């Protein structure tokens, strides 16, 4: 099965300049397209920090009506719950437990001058 990109591509939506609204509209848009070549990002590490060195945009097929990213995520989650309820409960618990550590790491990175 071919990889599918759901939502708007960067620069395609008229609301992309609104930081919160752009990703929400993209996630709810019933637009999908086949991924011909996935995007590629290379990084450089310097002084224990990782920086984006180069981003090569991906190539995508023509847009078509499809399942939005939000709806597909819900369907995938429900399928995961149905297929492996214990694994899903464990993953949810681990995800919630990791939030404080991730927030602390983000705060530390901000104090060090990271974006």
Tens of pLDDT, residue by residue over 57-100, are 899 999 999 999 999 999 999 999 999 999 989 999 999 999 99
Radius of gyration of the chain (CA): 18
H/E element, 114: none
The pTM (predicted TM-score) of the whole model is 0.65
């Amino acid at each position: 099965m071919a990889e599918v990109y759901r939502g708007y591509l960067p620069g395609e939506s008229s609301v992309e300049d609104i930081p919160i609204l752009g990703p929400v509209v993209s996630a709810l848009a019933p637009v999908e397209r086949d991924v011909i070549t996935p995007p590629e990002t290379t990084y450089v590490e310097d002084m224990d920090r990782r920086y984006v060195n180069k981003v090569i945009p991906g190539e995508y097929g023509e847009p078509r009506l499809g399942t939005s990213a939000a709806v597909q995520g819900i369907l995938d989650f429900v399928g995961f719950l149905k297929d492996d309820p214990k694994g899903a409960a464990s993953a949810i618990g681990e995800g919630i437990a990791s939030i404080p550590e991730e927030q602390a790491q983000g705060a530390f990175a901000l104090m060090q001058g990271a974006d």
